[in-house]
Amino acid sequence: MDHQPKFFENLSGAGKAIGVLTSGGDAQGMNAAVRAVVRMGIYVNAKVYFIYEGYQGMVDGGDNIVEVSWESVSSILQVGGTVIGSARCKPFRTREGRLQAAFNLVQRGITNLCVIGGDGSLTGANLFREEWSGLLEELAQKGKIDAEAVKKYAYLNIVGMVGSIDNDFCGTDMTIGTDSALHRIIEVVDAIMTTAQSHQRTFVLEVMGRHCGYLALVSALACGADWVFIPEYPPEEGWEDSMCVKLSENRARKKRLNIIIVAEGAIDCHNKPITSEKVKDLVVQRLGFDTRVTILGHVQRGGTPSAFDRILASRMGVEAVLALLEATPDTPACVVSLSGNQAVRLPLMECVQMTQEVQKAMDEGRFLEAVRLRGRSFENNLNTYKLLSHKKPDSELPKTNFNVAVLNVGAPAAGMNAAVRAAVRVGMTEGHKIFAVIDGFEGFARGKIKEISWGDVGGWTGQGGSILGTKRTLPAKYLEKIADQMRTNNINALMVIGGFEAFESCLQLYEARSSFEEFKVPMCVLPATISNNVPGTDYSIGADTALNAIVETCDRIKQSASGTKRRVFIIETMGGYCGYLANMGALAAGADAAYIFEEQFDIRELQANVEHLTEKMKTSIQRGLVLRNENCNENYTTDFIYQLYSEEGKGVFDCRKNVLGHMQQGGAPSPFDRNFGTKISAKAMQWISKKLKETYRKEEGKVFANTDDSVCLLGMRRRNLVFQPVAELKSETDFIHRIPKEQWWLKLRPLMKILAKYKTSYDVSDSGQLEHVAMLPKEAETGAI
């Protein structure tokens, strides 16, 4: 829809006061949200106050409610937990307590609250808002405030952000802290796997989630666990036997370890708890396996926030301030949340009611309903887990006589192996024979192709790089040989997992269909590259892992200068001509500038950046960070920028430079990449099956797919996963610079600049409309993991 861009310059916060508090259990990323609220609030000329220790501080008043400045939130982005504290607060549950809190806020003129917490904290905030005018009248009757104040501060506006590692809040795909908690769990599981392998042990891991199985389910999906227990989907009667059969079958297949994941709130179908100890005793008694229990506990809440959580919290914080500025006495209290890749506003109480519905459904034993109410993303995770973890006996599998080949193309990206594993297992479940091609199209031309089975891909989810081997070679120069191999091996469909080369390869095969009958088969491209430069998708497998590597390194580099004099770091990132890593890395690491190819810059802009940084460094700010994409400008090289900053900053700061290089490509895949890879691969294989059925010609006994929509790329677009014909994507692509012509993340550029104290214009056309929970598109099969 074409609308005039709406810029938030027209929204002024002058004369408004915003209070920000964190409440309930802490979650990594809360500080990033606090920082964004403070800086955005100050940017629009509002006053911003910290309310320390959650609602307790609001009730106690005094030094607990303090006006803050820009510098107050410097260097908190990378800190876990919440620097303004959080506490359970009994007094706020009483009217007396809320009366005192209202008095403390009115004294400072605060009528806008930004609450970061779980559903309990947000429900409390809503009640406070409903009672507000009554509370003020009572204060006036008691002579504590005058009639003028009652009139002036008549309305309280509330915007919530959900900070909870459990991801248990309906209406939002990802709550702040969930991704970081998954990072902690996966780090532990990866470490445990190596020791379990050595001793042929079974490990039972207990993860947090008293009422919500999200962490258990997603970590089971991300590490390929043998069994998972979650509160929303209790195992069927007789689960003890089926679990033991499965574990012993796995051992018989030469698998040296078993991993069982238990959510702390896991129950059986009679609502009786299933504890990790109970599971361990069962395995020991029935199977005699050497079994150990590990309870992760508060480790999951700790540590530094992941790149995803920092970006999510920063986007939500800015959105929350916009929502407060636009709020009227008639708008209901709302939560800002994420749907797919889009910030949305939802009525707070609708979300809370739906969240309570889930608990009610579980209490009443309506478990399928509970799973459905948790949302599309949860349901998808569960279905994908069930599909990939249990191999049906061969006698129960359909037989289609179709052969599907899977290959990696381009540079390695973390998460490729998870995608291959899902493709193999879903393909086998659908009844196909799956062939693995070694070393991309070069290997294909040489006949390096072999059938691959269920067990061959066990343990692949956590492996970085590409186990199949990958090459950048495009098929154009081997077309004849590839056609021969497809004929010889009777290949009826292709799944190509890779970066820009994978997209180009399928385009070449599609365009060569007129010369080669063999290429008239369904083909699907899965985007997998750290550069995130593939057209037709907002995210690529591997980009999240690379982003985390960049952010982690930036944190270390910044810390290396603590205690020394003022210092600025110039850091070069990869990405070809695509500025995604530099831009998003800058947003997540709290950088002062990011130079990218997509936004041309000249010497005047460089000069302005240096001057801006010099001014900042004259305050209490100690360290500066500047990111530069490797190909952003052929003349303004990393050395040039380093020398410019060194010269111009003399006497104020000194400079260091770092080229991050290939460490951005390595490492174990992040939870997001494992799950994104697994889910889109499973969906792509189901699409291939559908296309094979549609294009099979019985009378000729062969597949004949000759339409544009039989060669597609599966991408995440805003809220949905969509299959797009590569022929159509051709017009959306800049082939010289190997990037899409339009990129969603460029809209987040101003966000980074605002948080780094630049004046800029920010298009907020996308934000703003209040939606309803029930109306979230049912098909929104989101990229939320």
State the catalytic residues. Answer: 166
Query: What are the angstrom distances between the C-alpha of 57 and each of 32, 75, 76, 88, 101?
Result: 20, 23, 20, 11, 9
CA distance 574 to 660: 8
Alpha helices in 13-118 (DSSP H): 30-43, 54-60, 95-107
Whole-number Å distance between alpha carbons of 557 and 571: 9
Number of Cβ within 10 Å of residue 365's Cβ equals: 13
Three-state DSSP state, 693? helix
Query: Helix (H, G, I), strand (E, B), or coil: what is residue 311?
Result: helix
Q: Give the side-chain half-sphere CA count within 13 A for 97.
A: 16
669/677 Cα distance (integer angstroms): 10
| Residue 290 CB neighbours (<10 A) | 13
Q: Residues 544, 545, 546, CA angle at the centre, nearest 5°?
A: 90
Residue type at 371 in one-letter notation: V
Q: What angle do CA 497, 498, 501 make, to 5 degrees?
A: 125
* Cα 304 → chain centroid: 15
Query: Rounded to whole angstroms, how far apart are CA atoms 71 and 217?
Result: 40
Q: Which two tokens stand for residue 622?
A: 């100690």
Chain centroid offset of residue 48 CA: 29
Inter-helix orientation angle 671-695/214-223, to 10°: 70
Beta strands of 520-622 (E only): which ranges? 523-527, 567-573, 593-595
Helix extents (H) in 229-347: 239-252, 276-287, 307-326
- Nearest CA among 388, 414, 421, 381 for reference residue 785: 381
Joined tokens for residue 715 = 């991408």
Of 662, 708, 719, 664, the C-alpha closest to 539 is 719
Please, what's the largest Cα pairwise distance for the chain? 92
Of 586, 755, 749, which is closest to residue 42 (Cα–Cα)?
755
> How, if at all, do strands 493-498 and 523-527 pair?
parallel
> Strand 702-703 vs strand 493-498: parallel, antiparallel, or unpaired?
unpaired
Tokens 């574990």 — which residue? Answer: 247
Number of Cβ within 10 Å of residue 77's Cβ equals 25
Q: What DSSP assignment string belongs to 377-420?
A: HHHHHHHHHHHHH-PPPGGGS-----EEEEEEESS--TTHHHHH
Q: Please state, in angstroms and rounded to a whole number, the distance separating the CA atoms of residues 230 and 364.
A: 16
Residue from 523, 569, 573 nearest 546 by CA:
573
Query: Which tokens sit at 423?
Result: 């493709």
Q: Which two tokens stand for residue 779?
A: 């098909």
Residue 238, helix vs strand vs coil: coil
Helices 638-648 & 603-617, crossing angle to 10 degrees? 50
Q: Where are the beta strands (DSSP E) in 541-637?
A: 567-573, 593-595, 623-629
The CA–CA distances, whole Å, from 28 to 182, 300, 312, 316, 370 equal 11, 9, 11, 14, 27
